Amino acid sequence: MKHLLVTGGAGFVGSNFVRHVLETTFHRVTVLDKLTYASSRLVLSDLPPERCRLVVGDVTDAELVHSLVADVDAIVHFAAESHNDNSLREPGPFVQTNILGTYTVLEAARAYGTRLHHVSTDEVFGDLPLGSRTRFSEQSPFNPSSPYSGTKAGADLLVRAWSRSFGIRATTSNSCNIYGPFQHVEKFIPRQITNILRGARPKIYGDGRNVREWLHVDDHSRAVLTILERGRSGETYLVGTGNEHENISVLRTILRLMNRPEDDFDRVRDRPGHDARYAIDASKLRSTLQWTPRHDDFEAGLRSTIEWYRRNEPWWGPGKSAVEAAYGEREDAPADGS
């Protein structure tokens, strides 16, 4: 039985990981989370207190992070500002949390010799041309587009440097787009589902031809736990499914599953610098650690996610209007930004 420190464990991907750990191991978890707009205590409130403790605090607070790391066997680092659109509006918190936060975690891991897994994104590699068959691999060069992906690339490079120069025991995973329960309504899939549930039209950026690769959050949790347990220190693992879809096709599937006409959406102003396509070659994770995704059927995953949002309006409802008001300002602004 181990004791894990999970930073950002009250957010979407982190809280699903905490649930997975409690369900599949005997480990104890301490969550360190600032409880930003993207999270809430509610996500952890039904978990057994003797195995899951929430510490509300900032991952850049070195004294706090050191005191928590002193008491654990391993750290899984999810805490981040995570939304590209917000990073284009206000990059400062991304630099602070994603870069300084990772630096703080690395220094604590170094001080106590603690095993660290750093959770990152395929966006550090930039994007791929539409219509191509190329995929990102662990050898792909970094080429980030947005302040979000730039700060995640910076964090990944810090992990590599601390691993090589100070010998800390660290692994990194770079995942494709994740979906499932507890994702904030600012993100693409929950935004469209909750718009429809509220009687509003979904919003697609630009022509909707941008391609994303989709992974169910349970499969991501299994990948991270597998790497934490059996990954090699100093190594990076890409996590993906091959499940690539144009945004417009994902939206049409959601509309159909929710009994709405497939053209019942608005096209809105495109995201500046919008990445065209992400695609992952996950063969290293599959062949060396025998991980395979179990949620192969994307449409079934979307159906269960829609059901989850239908049943959990008390969780997502209170923040929905503010998110749509902020989007309204961006989407109604003139295209040249003036």
Residues 6+ apart with CB under 8 A from 263: none
Q: Which of 19, 27, 30, 36 binds ligand NAD (CB under 6 A)?
A: 36
Q: Which listed residue (191, 216, 252, 295) binds ligand DAU by CB under 6 A? A: 191
Which residue's Cβ has the minimum distance to ligand DAU?
A: 121
Beta bridge pairs of residue 56: 33
State yes or no: residue 320 binds ligand DAU (CB under 6 A): no
Name the one range near ligand DAU by CB under 6 A: 22-30, 70-78, 79-87, 316-324: 79-87
Q: List the one residue from 117, 184, 252, 295 that touches ligand NAD (CB under 6 A).
A: 184
Binding segment toward ligand NAD, per CB under 6 A, in 10-18, 252-260, 274-282, 285-293 = 10-18
Query: Distance of CA 75 to CAs 8, 162, 184, 232, Å?
Result: 11, 15, 24, 15
Closest CA to 217 of 11, 47, 2: 11
Which of 78, 278, 291, 298 is close enough to bind ligand DAU by CB under 6 A?
278
User: Residue 97 binds what, of ligand DAU, ligand NAD, none (CB under 5 to 8 Å, by partner type)?
Assistant: ligand NAD
162, 114 Cβ separation under 8 angstroms: no
Tell me the window of 77-85, 128-136, 246-254, 261-269 that interacts with ligand NAD (CB under 6 A): 77-85
Least distance to ligand NAD, CB of residue 177, Å: 5
Q: CA-to-CA distance for 261 and 263, rounded, in angstroms?
A: 6
11 counts as binding ligand NAD under rule CB under 6 A: yes
* Sequence-ordered strand ranges (E) for the chain: 3-7, 28-33, 52-56, 74-77, 115-121, 170-175, 177-179, 203-205, 211-216, 236-239, 244-246, 266-268
Q: Using CA atoms, how far apart are residues 215 and 197, in angstroms rounded to an integer? A: 23
Among 15, 36, 121, 236, indicate the residue that binds ligand DAU (CB under 6 A): 121
Strand partners, 54: 31
The only residue of 123, 127, 156, 218 in contact with ligand DAU, by rule CB under 6 A: 123
CA-CA distance, 335 to 126, in Å (whole number)?
23
**Structural tokens at position 259:** 């009994």
Does 177 bind ligand DAU (CB under 6 A)? Our answer is yes
The single residue among 205, 242, 288, 326 that binds ligand DAU, judged by CB under 6 A, is 205
For residue 156, give every residue at least 6 positions away whose Cβ sits within 8 Å of its Cβ, in sequence order, or none. 118, 120, 124, 142, 172, 174, 236
Nearest-angstrom CA–CA distance, 100 and 81: 12
- Tokens, residue 162: 């601390």
Contacting ligand NAD within 89-118 (CB under 6 A): 97, 101
Quick check: 220 binds ligand DAU (CB under 6 A)? no
> 7 or 82: whose CB is closer to ligand DAU?
82
Q: 102: closest CA among 32, 49, 158?
A: 158
Structural element, H or E, at residue 290: none
In terms of CB distance, is 27 or 187 closer to ligand DAU? Answer: 187
Q: Which residues are catalytic?
A: 122-123, 148
Q: Which of 187, 220, 252, 320 binds ligand DAU (CB under 6 A)?
A: 187
Q: Binding of ligand NAD at residue 80 (CB under 6 A)?
A: yes
d(CA 190, CA 187): 6
Binding partner of residue 172 among ligand DAU, ligand NAD, none, CB cut-off 5 to 8 Å per kind: none
Q: Binding to ligand DAU by residue 285, rule CB under 6 A?
A: no
How many CB atoms neighbour CB 318 within 10 A? 10
Q: What residue ranges bind ligand DAU (CB under 6 A)?
A: 82-84, 121-123, 176-177, 187-188, 191, 203-205, 210, 212, 247, 271, 278
Q: What residue ranges bind ligand NAD (CB under 6 A)?
A: 7-8, 10-14, 32-36, 38-39, 58-60, 78-82, 97, 101, 119-121, 152, 175, 177-178, 184
